[in-house]
Structure 1
């Protein structure tokens, strides 16, 4: 029997087929409207994208997934460096399916032993049409040199359109062999072959081992998978179509979309004609290698999809969370308390310049003698307070980091949420000291004071001088005007006792003017100190912002940018 069956509306080989969404000339419908349609990623682009996925996923995604992708990249790189003029086709199947007979039928010679005992084929046999460049490929396939055979294309000269030049046909051991090494050999070849051919027979085409171990796991490889229903000569003519239909139903139920099925019988030369035509078309198209690698990439790339969200990801921490973080770190560093302390220090320092010296002298006579020393040492005390981490401060910093990280982590998948949190905490132990240093550097020097303070101080001492001179004048008036000290006629300014009330009023007014000047200046200093405190807090906040940008926001933004590139690379790898 020589009948063959193939799927409806499906090409018999792997030749060119129209691409979905394109016109007859290969152009996109959108191109008619003048729209620029991005070119689909090439195989090289997809491999590059997958390589970036592995690189960016390291330390973030599960190790088995990254290892599987790395193995594929290595295998693809090796295959692409080898002959692209050859197409590797494997014949795999169970014991008694007739794959070795089919192999011999295509080769035209008895190259592979046939039989029904288990196992029969113990090593992969290879038959090559066209030796140029095939040696390194067979070495990579690890085919024993004793089982390599070469056929010249002269076998096909009678049918030039059916030339098998460039075909590497492999006959594999039985996948259901009792020998573990044989099964391992099959497992290895099915991962590297360009075209997978599964040979089944009418009695065992529903073999659970075949479907569970190979058909289902490679269901996405329908484009590079061919099912050969062999030994149809054992069926009645009406039974062939029923058997093919049942096999197709089973394959489609297991996820093999639009399976390609061909029927063969190795008992006659014409019984393998349909299968041979498919091999001819596959070799001529020279696309099986790239299609196989594309199917492998599809399978691996889809496993990366759950690790990304469809929503456009953030590329940095938004302004609201940034402001919240800076405020939290400002509070954790104690910047408001420092600013308040600096307000008090400003007022104390101002008192030495704009205060009424008379009042200050009276206050000093009954005040703590350590006051001036503490004023002098205040800046050093403030500096020492922020030179290293404090226990409570570290806790506040941790809370601030957790808050901002949790907010961003909600917008990315779990693996990236973990990496975002890790990035936010990458400098957690350094932050307390960095915040302390930022406050330390923000503290002003106390030997720089406003010029008007010096003017007020000069004015106050001028008033003191006037008051002292007035008191001395009164003393002279009393001595010369009332007690007539010296006997001689004194000058009118010191001898006229009637001037005493006027001079006394002058002294009192001078003292009062000094007190009023001090009071007015204290009010000005109170207003200035508040502004000074605000400026100090703003100055410290700016330095804390720089610390937050460098130690927290920049690492998180870098992680978000890695995630954004990861999303793009998933699309590239998916094609």
Structure 2
């Protein structure tokens, strides 16, 4: 068995055998992982995207970092398994590292600290260069391990192993602890080396065992230096260590005993490494455990109950009514109903009555009524179309009704969505009312017919009065001489013509009265139609500015709930 250091000017590190700097061109693409892993990563990515601006930033940042790390690891060699040896000062991890490698590659000793930088030993060079670059192992501390014996014994080969000796996790040097923390997050298999004296070290269990308790499948506990114990003490020590690990949440912990100084003292550990490397599952199992841990943090942002995905009809109706009242649509419809009646009076009213009224009325008032529509249109050209306070109250009411069934973070998100166009709504309501206002130059035909009839009656009445005048002048005053005209000089016709005048005036008054009743019915329908058109416009504003943003946010939450199950491997 031989071990060679890789030259410092080679892509892989220091020694005689260079590691390739990049994957071999044309090599077949390795699978991204076992069935479900890629889908779970995609689900986690969707969770991060959905949570932006909604969920707590540390949770999103940690998940995003995992996604980047997983993507990088899956693009690197899947034929290599990264195994880290971590432990405290004096635990013997560097001695164990050297024993597996077969040579003294990592410094050993009891002083603090001995290993100041990560050392890597690689079995199988093809594709290891980019992996070691990603691991950021210094090129001076990379070693290539060639084992002819291993290649001949397929049942014991370590081909594909990347074994890394880390600095002490309890080092007084902050940079050493940071190096351990970094490798703990990226290693495929975590090996914690403990000794009989310090296997219950609080720093190890508090900082690493408990936080990574969900990673039991890719965690191995090595009880080293068992040569210092009697056989029955070894069993007691292992049992106590197992009890401690299980109490901290590490389910069914794997524990291996070793002794770097005893003959065959590392065979059990070596066999475990052989099995791990041969299975080539540590990489994807580690990523799956990482996804489990990240996805579990998202479960607190959802409720078990099925969420609403739409705003129910009752709340829509309440919102529509609130916005209608805020815009003053009923008052506008009433004003337009009155304007309709006043406009109709110009056509169907009895002209004689209108002339008498005009003599007593304020001409400015009449002028203002004729410009009512333009005044109303101008009233809705700016934000005064509706009061912002009334709009805000309406938005708060509909949002509170929907968010009652959502978790707090998503409730805030829905309320934000409901108010996303709050500043635009008053003007939009004003525009919708303005567009619903009718044009006054559209006059029903029957108004013209009535107006023509009324003026015909006025003409008949006027001519009849003139006729009476001629009858008085030529008949009673005898202005026509001895031979007066029969229709002008016959005073006896005066009563009949007077009856004609009275009948004509009466017909005009009756016509105007009947038409006023018809206009009253028409104006009511006109007002209802006006309000209906305005409500249609307000409903469109409510849907575009409020309902759609809320329902889009509810749909995001519904997808979020599904993606949590996908990320957890349940989808």
Q: Same fold (TM over 0.5)?
A: yes
Match 1:217 to one of 211, 215, 230: 211
Pairing 1:375–2:358 present: no
Unaligned runs of 5+ in 2: 1-33
Q: Provide the rounded CA distance (Å) in 2 between the counterparts of 1:145 and 1:547.
A: 65
Match 1:564 to one of 558, 562, 567: 558
Report which stretch shifted further, 230-239 or 441-450: 230-239
Kept in 1: contact 2:226–2:258 (CA 8 A):
yes
Aligned to 1:232: 226
Aligned to 2:19: none
**How do 1:75-154 and structure 2 match up within 5 A?**
75-154=69-148
Report which stretch shifted further, 441-450 or 210-219: 441-450
* SS of corresponding position for 1:128: strand
Pairing 1:256–2:250 present: yes
**Alignment CA distance shift 1:392-1:555 (3 Å):** closer
Greater RCO (CA < 8 Å, at least 6 residues apart) = 1
Kept in 2: contact 1:105–1:269 (CA 8 A):
no
Aligned to 1:60: 54
**How do 1:149-188 and structure 2 match up within 5 A?**
149-188=143-182
Aligned to 1:33: none
Q: Provide the rounded CA distance (Å) in 1 between the counterparts of 2:189 and 2:44.
A: 22
Aligned to 1:552: 546
Q: Provide the rounded CA distance (Å) in 1 between the counterparts of 2:304 and 2:486.
A: 103
Pairing 1:454–2:442 present: no
Report which stretch shifted further, 429-438 or 388-397: 388-397
Residues 146-197 of structure 1 show CA distances to partners (whole Å, capped at 9, x for unaligned) of 2111112413145321211100011111111222222121111111100001
Unaligned runs of 5+ in 1: 1-39
Kept in 1: contact 2:44–2:63 (CA 8 A):
yes
**How do 1:275-294 and structure 2 match up within 5 A?**
275-294=269-288
Match 2:382 to one of 383, 388, 391: 388
Q: Provide the rounded CA distance (Å) in 1 between the counterparts of 2:214 and 2:536.
A: 56
* SS of corresponding position for 1:370: helix
Quote the offset at 1:491 in angstroms. Answer: 4.7
Residues 10-69 of structure 1 show CA distances to partners (whole Å, capped at 9, x for unaligned) of xxxxxxxxxxxxxxxxxxxxxxxxxxxxxx972111111111211221111111111111
Aligned to 2:416: 422
Report which stretch shifted further, 383-392 or 554-563: 383-392
Aligned to 1:72: 66
* SS of corresponding position for 2:416: helix
Match 2:352 to one of 358, 376, 390: 358
* SS of corresponding position for 1:390: helix
Aligned length: 536
Report which stretch shifted further, 152-161 or 507-516: 152-161
**How do 1:1-80 and structure 2 match up within 5 A?**
42-80=36-74
Quote the offset at 1:482 in angstroms. Answer: 3.4
**Alignment CA distance shift 1:504-1:41 (3 Å):** farther
Give TM-score, length-normalised by structure 2: 0.91
Report which stretch shifted further, 539-548 or 217-226: 539-548
Match 1:345 to one of 323, 339, 343: 339
**Alignment CA distance shift 1:297-1:105 (3 Å):** same
Residues 374-422 of structure 1 show CA distances to partners (whole Å, capped at 9, x for unaligned) of 1222112112222222398111111111111111222221112112111
Q: Provide the rounded CA distance (Å) in 1 between the counterparts of 2:386 and 2:491.
A: 73
Q: Provide the rounded CA distance (Å) in 1 between the counterparts of 2:457 and 2:96.
A: 123
Quote the offset at 1:517 in angstroms. Answer: 0.8
Quote the offset at 1:269 in angstroms. Answer: 4.2
Q: Provide the rounded CA distance (Å) in 2 between the counterparts of 1:386 and 1:348.
A: 22
Residues 182-215 of structure 1 show CA distances to partners (whole Å, capped at 9, x for unaligned) of 2121111111100001111112111111111110
Aligned to 2:532: 538
